[in-house]
């Protein structure tokens, strides 16, 4: 294949390719590439150099507008400007007020808003903006109002309040709308001043301009929102027909719905107030108003069928609309109604059946699921035929919704399980992802459990599926389910072939599960025991040790003496749940010495062992291979919570907020292995020292940790719990508790010394000597840091979570992070410092990136949700600057996060 050839006249033409269409010739074929972005490859430093054009004696409006556009692009891409850079750009931009070019003036307004100058800089531009606010050019007036209200503080606002009131009632709707929108923003920061504008805003509600009326109604409602009676009066006065704007009418419908809910919540009975207004809106000429009114009626608390009827009627008309957005809105609303009032939606079923073939797959999926909720028993077969053709055209996420609806339908109409089960088994054989296949399997399992007649057919469908299943998890889960339900069927032998095939054709995990399932059939079905025994004997020669071990174990169980007690124990072993934690079972088995006395599973401790065996054993001291103890996983939060609440000294500390990961206090190959877990409470911190004795010839007693908190002034020791005995390779815990100020993220460094009494152990008898020697062992220092008071919590949609928090509680500041090798290093340092969860993959920085935005989420001590938006920028000398914006449910927590960064 020939190499692409791009025609260039000279080097200058290469720059001209940006923003133009490029034609590339490849094998005599002309390929037209998409337009390049005009901002491709621009860097902050180069743009700041270009910004010097603002200082020219003769201003070039076109060139200045292009430079401002680049600056706006960088700001909106998350590029952070240092304080000096932002100030220089701001002062340069203010000189452009001398130009009379209208287009340039609009760009100047935009860049001033984005730069958000500080209070001492605002005064420079205030006079120019106030002059524009009183200009004869309406475009200048509207934009000047928007910019002024964005950058001024409360003191300056009182000086221009008179002009803003005049602007609200201005004859020009653009100016009036700008003043009203500015009022919406100012209400968050200066509510007392904005509330004085009620008369002017009330006049704006009567405006003939649709946009002015919309903004005025929104502002007036916000001013009165805390006065329930005032809102009710506002709604009552406006529902008489003075609102002409469709947008304002939609707002009024929402406010009316809120008033209706408030009245019902306060015990007001009788005929529903304002319902006639909602019903009259169903006859409005604007489609958006009709939809808003229909949705409001369907969402009324305790809505009756009579009240629903007019709303359902108009939604039914929209189902046949040529506009996809109307069809989607109507079918989505009907889908929600079908959950609570399925009979009210049945009249729309014929119209919705026509939407199954809609080109918009979202509409088709909603139509299908609504039909499945509202259809009757006689329509099930017809629906299944229509859905069969539909399923191949939609994505897996839509298919899962349909499968869930079919499961609900089968429970609703159990007599139709055959056709529904057949449909599920057919789509189970088709291509699909893991989540889709798991949804189908879960549906079949639910049907088997809820409908006894469906058991045998459903199990056969599952057996056929595992013949060609690519997902190990699903195969093992189905085999486990077969082992429980299969032996209870009329002919259990027909499932044996499918199960034994897995022993030959699958990976080791599935083979092991198949061996367990075969053993359950052999134990539960006496007639199958000889055949199962033969099959298990063949499994003894499997290449995987887990499969061989299970086969050997189950052969021993099946070959028991047949006594009642033995059968009871075997049944409990094969079908019961293991009460003891696996980590405890592992430790007990390692400590068990082979003897005539059998291992007693009841001797295994039931409480959770929190000690992870993290140390590496020295060569020659400890056994290797199967005898070497692997690192056990650390216990989860619930395990730690149970452990601490069971200790009387700590039971009164309240609810556990966080437990840290284990911190190693010793080297890997030392004679004593110690790590510590920090448990954070509101008023206390508990250190859990997990200790392991790695010397076989020693027994440690009265094991304790002496903690020196001289470098942690805010902490005071209140309790400790020593470990009575620490045998060889048997993990144990010692605890030390400290009190700290409530809800305060106190930090400090702690010195730790392990103290104990050493007793020699006779290797031949395993008995320890009576006399011991007191000894101590110096451990590494331990620090409690700020990140210990933050729990990582992910959010699925950061933007929604960010916008749902009060913007007024946002705290923003800028920091210099010094020189770093890369942005990624700086971002990792900030994440580690705060201990928060990166969201949406923003912890990953593109290679050679000069700027990046990282989104973080977490819960601060006191269960306060915190969100962070950190914008990083790196200059040519690898100096990193960061703009940190924090929103929290408590404003003091946002300030605390900034203190952590400032001190970090």
pLDDT in tens, 87-118: 888 888 888 888 888 888 889 888 888 887 77
Question: What are the tens digits of pLDDT across the range 418-444?
Answer: 888 888 888 888 888 888 899 999 889
Q: In this predicted structure, what is the pLDDT of residue 328?
A: 93
| Highest-confidence segment of 207-221, 354-368, 628-642 | 207-221
Question: What are the tens digits of pLDDT across the range 59-68?
Answer: 888 999 999 9
For residue 397, name the pLDDT band (cuts at 50, 70, 90).
Answer: confident
Q: In this predicted structure, what is the pLDDT of residue 605?
A: 65
Q: In this predicted structure, what is the pLDDT of residue 159?
A: 81
For residue 796, name the pLDDT band (cuts at 50, 70, 90).
Answer: low
| Reported pTM | 0.51
Question: What are the tens digits of pLDDT across the range 347-360?
Answer: 888 888 888 888 88
Percent of the chain with pLDDT over 90: 16
- For 642, 681, 717, 754, 897, the CA distances from 685, given in Å and listed in that order, are 16, 6, 9, 19, 20
- Report H helices in 36-118: 44-50, 61-76, 83-94, 102-115
Question: What are the tens digits of pLDDT across the range 745-773?
Answer: 888 899 999 999 988 887 777 777 878 88
Round to whole Å and give the CA distance between 374 and 343: 7
Contact between 784 and 739 (Cβ < 8 Å): no
Q: In this predicted structure, what is the pLDDT of residue 382?
A: 77
- 628: pLDDT strictly greater than 50: no
Q: In this predicted structure, what is the pLDDT of residue 738?
A: 92
Q: In this predicted structure, what is the pLDDT of residue 119?
A: 66
- 18: pLDDT strictly greater than 90: no
- Report H helices in 355-395: 361-374, 380-391
Q: In this predicted structure, what is the pLDDT of residue 847?
A: 64
Q: Which two tokens stand for residue 29?
A: 């074929």
CB atoms within 10 A of CB 711: 12
Residue 137, classed as helix, strand or coil, is coil
Question: What are the tens digits of pLDDT across the range 678-721?
Answer: 999 888 999 999 888 888 888 888 889 999 988 888 898 898 88
Strand stretches in 517-622, DSSP E: none
Percent of the chain that is helix, strand, coil (3-state, to 5)? 55, 15, 30
- For 576, 655, 767, the CA distances from 721, given in Å and listed in that order, are 36, 19, 26
- 26: pLDDT strictly greater than 50: no
- 291: pLDDT strictly greater than 90: yes
Round to whole Å and give the CA distance between 650 and 673: 25
Q: Which two tokens stand for residue 606?
A: 């039931």
Q: In this predicted structure, what is the pLDDT of residue 262?
A: 80
- 31: pLDDT strictly greater than 60: no
Question: What are the tens digits of pLDDT across the range 164-204?
Answer: 888 899 889 999 999 999 888 888 888 888 888 889 988 88
Closest by CA position to 664, among listed 676, 654, 656, 653? 676
Round to whole Å and give the CA distance between 56 and 230: 56
- 621: pLDDT strictly greater than 50: no
Q: Which residues pair with 22 in a beta bridge?
A: none
On average, the pLDDT of the chain sits at 81
Lowest mean pLDDT among 482-496, 514-528, 538-552, 838-852: 838-852
Q: In this predicted structure, what is the pLDDT of residue 24?
A: 39
Round to whole Å and give the CA distance between 60 and 96: 10
């Amino acid at each position: 294949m020939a190499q692409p050839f791009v025609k260039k006249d000279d080097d200058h033409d290469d720059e001209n390719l940006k923003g133009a269409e490029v034609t590339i010739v490849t094998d005599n074929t002309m390929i037209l590439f998409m337009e390049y972005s005009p901002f491709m490859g621009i860097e902050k430093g180069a743009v700041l150099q270009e910004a010097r054009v603002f200082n020219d004696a003769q201003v070039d409006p076109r060139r200045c507008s292009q430079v401002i556009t680049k600056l706006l692009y960088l700001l909106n891409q998350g590029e952070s400007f240092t304080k000096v850079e932002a100030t220089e750009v701001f002062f340069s931009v203010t000189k452009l007020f001398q130009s009379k070019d209208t287009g340039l003036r609009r760009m100047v307004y935009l860049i001033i808003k984005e730069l958000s100058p500080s209070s001492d800089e605002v005064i420079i531009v205030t006079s120019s903006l106030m002059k524009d606010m009183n200009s004869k050019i309406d475009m200048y007036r509207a934009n000047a109002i928007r910019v002024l209200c964005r950058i001024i503080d409360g003191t300056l606002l009182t000086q221009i309040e008179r002009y803003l009131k005049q602007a609200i009632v201005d004859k020009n709707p653009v100016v009036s709308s700008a003043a009203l929108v500015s009022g919406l923003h100012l209400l968050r920061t200066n509510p007392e001043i904005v509330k004085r504008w009620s008369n002017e805003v009330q006049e704006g509600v009567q405006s003939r301009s649709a946009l002015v009326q919309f903004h005025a109604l929104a502002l007036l409602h916000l001013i009165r929102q805390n006065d329930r009676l005032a809102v009710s009066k506002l709604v009552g006065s406006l529902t008489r027909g003075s609102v002409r704007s469709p947008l304002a009418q939609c707002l009024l419908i929402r406010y009316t719905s809120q008033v209706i809910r408030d009245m019902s919540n306060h015990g007001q009975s009788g005929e529903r107030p304002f319902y006639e207004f909602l019903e009259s809106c169903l006859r409005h000429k604007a489609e958006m108003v009709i939809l808003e009114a229909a949705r409001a009626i369907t969402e009324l608390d305790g809505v009756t069928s009579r009240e629903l009827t007019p709303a359902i009627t108009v939604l039914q008309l929209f189902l046949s609309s040529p506009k996809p957005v109307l069809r989607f809105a109507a079918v989505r609303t009907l889908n929600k109604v079908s959950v609570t009032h399925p009979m009210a939606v049945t009249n729309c079923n014929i119209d919705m059946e026509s939407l199954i073939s809609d080109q918009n797959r979202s509409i088709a999926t909603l139509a299908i699921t609504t039909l499945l909720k509202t259809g009757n028993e006689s329509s099930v077969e017809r629906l299944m035929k229509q859905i069969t053709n539909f399923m191949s055209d939609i994505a897996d996420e839509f298919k899962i919704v349909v499968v869930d609806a079919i499961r609900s339908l089968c429970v609703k109409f159990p007599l139709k399980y055959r056709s529904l089960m057949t449909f599920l088994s057919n789509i189970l054989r088709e291509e699909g992802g893991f989540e889709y296949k798991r949804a189908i399997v879960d549906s079949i399992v639910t049907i088997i459990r809820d409908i006894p007649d469906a058991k045998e057919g459903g199990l056969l469908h599952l057996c056929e599926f595992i013949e060609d299943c690519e997902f190990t998890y699903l195969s093992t889960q189905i085999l486990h389910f077969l082992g429980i339900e299969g032996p209870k069927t009329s002919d259990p032998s027909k499932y044996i072939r499918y199960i034994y095939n897995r022993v030959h054709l699958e990976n080791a995990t599935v083979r092991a599960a198949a061996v367990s399932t075969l053993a359950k059939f052999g134990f539960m079905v006496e007639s199958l025991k000889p055949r199962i025994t033969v099959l298990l004997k063949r499994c003894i020669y499997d290449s995987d040790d887990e499969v061989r071990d299970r086969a050997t174990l189950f052969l021993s169980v099946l070959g028991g003496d047949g006594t009642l007690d033995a059968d009871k124990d075997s049944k409990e072993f094969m079908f019961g749940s293991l009460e003891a934690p696996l980590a405890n079972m592992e430790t007990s088995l390692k400590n068990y010495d082979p003897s005539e006395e059998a291992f007693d599973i009841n001797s295994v401790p039931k409480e959770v062992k929190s000690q992870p065996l993290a140390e590496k054993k020295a060569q020659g001291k400890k056994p290797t291979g199967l005898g070497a103890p692997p690192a056990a996983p650390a216990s989860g939060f619930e395990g730690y919570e149970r452990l601490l609440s069971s200790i009387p000294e700590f039971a009164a500390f309240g609810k556990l907020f966080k437990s840290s990961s284990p911190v190693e206090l010793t080297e890997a190959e030392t004679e004593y292995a110690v790590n510590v877990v920090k448990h954070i409470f509101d008023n206390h911190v508990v250190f859990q020292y997990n200790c392991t004795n790695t010397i076989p010839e020693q027994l440690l007693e009265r094991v304790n940790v002496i903690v020196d908190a001289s470098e942690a002034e805010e902490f005071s020791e209140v309790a400790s719990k020593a470990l009575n005995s620490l045998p060889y390779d048997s993990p144990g815990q010692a605890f030390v508790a400290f009190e700290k100020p409530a809800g305060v993220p106190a930090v400090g460094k702690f010195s730790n010394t392990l103290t104990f009494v050493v007793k020699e152990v006779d290797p031949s008898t395993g008995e320890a000597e009576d006399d011991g020697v007191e000894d101590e062992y110096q451990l590494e220092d331990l620090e409690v840091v700020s990140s210990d008071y933050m729990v990582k919590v992910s959010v699925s949609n950061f933007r929604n979570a960010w916008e749902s928090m009060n913007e007024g509680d946002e705290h923003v500041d800028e920091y210099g992070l010094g020189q770093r090798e890369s942005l990624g290093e700086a971002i990792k340092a900030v994440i580690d410092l705060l201990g928060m969860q990166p969201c949406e993959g923003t912890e990953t920085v593109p290679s050679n990136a000069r700027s990046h935005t990282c989104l973080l989420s977490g819960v601060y001590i006191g269960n306060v949700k915190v969100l962070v938006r950190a914008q990083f920028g790196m200059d040519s000398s690898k100096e990193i600057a960061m703009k940190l914006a924090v929103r929290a449910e408590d404003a003091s927590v946002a300030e605390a996060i900034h203190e952590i960064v400032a001190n970090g």
